[in-house]
Structure 1
Amino acid sequence: MTGQNGLSSSVVETVAGFTAGIASTISLHPLDLVKIRLQVDRSHSSRLGSSLRIIRQIARHEGGLAAFYRGLGPNLVGNSTGWGLYFLCYGSLKDIVGRYRARDGDGAQGPLTSSDYFLTSGTAATTGIITSALTNPIWVIKTRMLSTGSQVPGAYTSLSSGVKQIYATEGVKGFYRGLVPALFGVSHGALQFMAYERLKILRSDSMRLDDPVERGLSDSVQAKPSLARLGNIDFFVLSGLSKVFAGCVTYPYQVVRSRLQTYEAHLLYRGTTDAMRQIWVKEGFAGFYKGLGPNLFRVLPSTWVTFLVYENMKLFLS
């Protein structure tokens, strides 16, 4: 489907997703750093105040404000690429399903049902397996840079520095540490977008019922989905609810992935199963949710920025 400006909806989705990834990463990188530090912390139990302890340590001993933006480069590359690829696939799938839903013979795209959104978001998330494999080297470098200060001996100074050191000391396999739990993370995107699209449909339906003018429209008009009738407050609330739901269900994979991607992971863990066993034995169930607090503080603003930029950029480009 092509908009008034001649851009296909898949291009619009890709540009919107890429832009949203950049905006959210730049604005919320410091919280990502704190989350990583908590996830890889094996010496302290999970407790209230851990985030403040880490923030004080970084501010006092690692160079102040600039230290909170260590590793921004790989984080920008990874997030913008990941969101762009996801939305490209997501938009293309919605186009395909929409064409199958065409209501007349002129090829006009018909409205998607809630089950269609479930299908497209789930299928797009499945392609995240490919995205995860392509971007895993970036996440390894990002995790290592965020988990240590720049003054630590052997710490990577940049994305290119990380690539050279990993290849020299660990070979190609070093770039794929933590890939197995990262693949489980594909379910996060599926759950989030399924919930988000479903909530948008429910919210749109409730607005029609509350509006006497809308109630008087014909069924054919009511059936046409209109994201434009949802405002920024709607996107704000719905994206937050869907993110909390998906985040709480899938968070443990992030902890396991971070543990496997640290500098000395190959000396501490024999693999994904061993990492999970050690976390369970030494830290209990709470160990799998280390950093959940700052993660929610990070991902909620990140989600709000991402989806507000994404939805408004779609409207602007369309």
Structure 2
Amino acid sequence: MPRVVPPIEGRASDVDISPSLVESIAGFTAGVVATLAVHPFDVLKTRLQLNQATRLEFGSSWRILRSIVQNEGNYRGLYRGLMPNMIGNSTSWGLYFFWYVSTSDLKDAFRKYRGGDRKLSSAEYFAASGTSGVLTAICTNPIWVIKTRMLSSGRDAPGAYRGVLHGTVQIMRNEGILGFYRGLIPSLFGVSHGAIQFVAYEQLKNHRRAQKPGAHLSNWDFLTLSALSKMLAGSVTYPYQVVRSRLQTYEATQHYRSASDLVFQIWRKEGVRGFYKGLAPNIIRVLPSTCVTFLVYENTKFYLPQFYAANF
């Protein structure tokens, strides 16, 4: 595990490099590393979300993983759809931190509007993170459509996309530009996930700082707080991910008239549990993903200005 260093707040402004650029690079790098670390869990989660059986049997996750390894190109099958997932995650984290964390972000706009350096309320944190999430969701939805379809099937399955470019061409040819925005509505509802996470994260961080007056929070503090906030947000908002995944599949238009029709069908055929399929692997995936993301993010934000100052 890399050496943990305490992040220095405001460090990015000590050198001649744009703080927004530092935040974007840190978020982008964190997204790449986290995706590489936990992608197989994302494949498993997607397959479970698309399983329409009334109830899953014990050991379903293991059987799906074993089937992928045996029938979809050995362990390479566990990294099916890695490229769109990496592009989507790295871009999402880069954009999100650019809009949310940098010194020119929405939080500073709220502070200037209210006057002074007063701490933001939970509602203001929610508005800032929610707005950032909406912008990010609109920008990245096309890549999530391709990613979901690639993760839902093996490379040799009939009609499966061979890669990002092939998927892009097929969607444009067969569905038009609107095909890239399937599942956008549930994704926008899912913005509440990030908003809840960051509200909880900021409040937990403020509480922790009150316990350590005058001291910088360590990366271990950030990792613990981010994990707790992620677990809370994930448990509350998970159903939208199931709805979004099913709306983004190859044949979604043949089975569902709308998002509300899909919700009704899941409720009628699968019950409440249907909205939480894949939750366990999702939690297993997001916790290390969140920890890796924030560890890489904080270290990149700390070292990048020093590297820039030393070499430029």
1:83 correspondence with 2:93: yes
Match of 1:256 among 243, 262, 270: 243
Q: 4+ runs of 1 displaced by more than 6 Å?
A: 100-103
Q: Which runs of 5+ in 1 are unaligned?
A: 104-109, 209-221
Partner of 2:5: none
Alignment CA distance shift 1:118-1:232 (3 Å): farther
1:237 correspondence with 2:224: yes
Q: Does structure 1 conserve the Cα–Cα contact (< 8 Å) formed by 2:243 and 2:263?
A: yes
Structure 1 residue 277: Cα displacement: 0.4
Partner of 2:36: 26
What secondary structure does 2:212 align onto?
helix
1:187 correspondence with 2:192: yes
Q: How does 1:179-218 map to 2 (within 5 A)?
A: 179-208=184-213
Structure 1 residue 82: Cα displacement: 1.0
Match of 1:113 among 110, 119, 133: 119
Q: Distance in 2 between matches of 1:56 and 1:257?
A: 26
Q: Does structure 1 conserve the Cα–Cα contact (< 8 Å) formed by 2:198 and 2:229?
A: yes
TM-score (norm. length: structure 1): 0.86
Partner of 1:215: none
Q: Distance in 2 between matches of 1:144 and 1:155?
A: 8
Q: Distance in 1 between matches of 2:15 and 2:115?
A: 22
Match of 1:3 among 13, 20, 28: 13
- Please say which structure displays the higher CA radius of gyration: 1
1:317 correspondence with 2:309: no
What secondary structure does 1:3 align onto?
helix
Q: Does structure 2 conserve the Cα–Cα contact (< 8 Å) formed by 1:93 and 1:120?
A: no
Q: Distance in 1 between matches of 2:110 and 2:50?
A: 42
Alignment CA distance shift 1:315-1:165 (3 Å): same
Partner of 2:261: 274
Partner of 2:157: 152
Match of 2:285 among 294, 298, 308: 298
Match of 2:56 among 46, 55, 71: 46
Structure 1 residue 30: Cα displacement: 0.7
The 10-residue stretch of structure 1 (70-79 or 277-286) with the greater mean CA deviation from structure 2: 70-79
1:246-284 deviation digits (Å, cap 9, x = unpaired): 001110000000011111111011110000000000000
Q: C-alpha root-mean-square deviation of aligned residues, in Å?
A: 2.0
Percentage of pairs with the same residue? 54
Counterpart AA for 1:30 = P
Match of 1:173 among 163, 175, 178: 178
Structure 1 residue 232: Cα displacement: 2.4
1:18-52 deviation digits (Å, cap 9, x = unpaired): 11111111111111010000001113523432211
Give the count of matched residue pairs.
292
Partner of 2:141: 136
Counterpart AA for 1:297 = I
Q: Does structure 2 conserve the Cα–Cα contact (< 8 Å) formed by 1:114 and 1:198?
A: no
The 10-residue stretch of structure 1 (154-163 or 39-48) with the greater mean CA deviation from structure 2: 39-48
Structure 1 residue 5: Cα displacement: 1.8
1:105-157 deviation digits (Å, cap 9, x = unpaired): xxxxx5x5252x75245323223223222211111110000000111011000
Alignment CA distance shift 1:180-1:102 (3 Å): closer
Alignment CA distance shift 1:122-1:13 (3 Å): farther
Q: Distance in 2 between matches of 1:119 and 1:170?
A: 39
Q: Distance in 1 between matches of 2:107 and 2:18?
A: 12
TM-score (norm. length: structure 2): 0.88
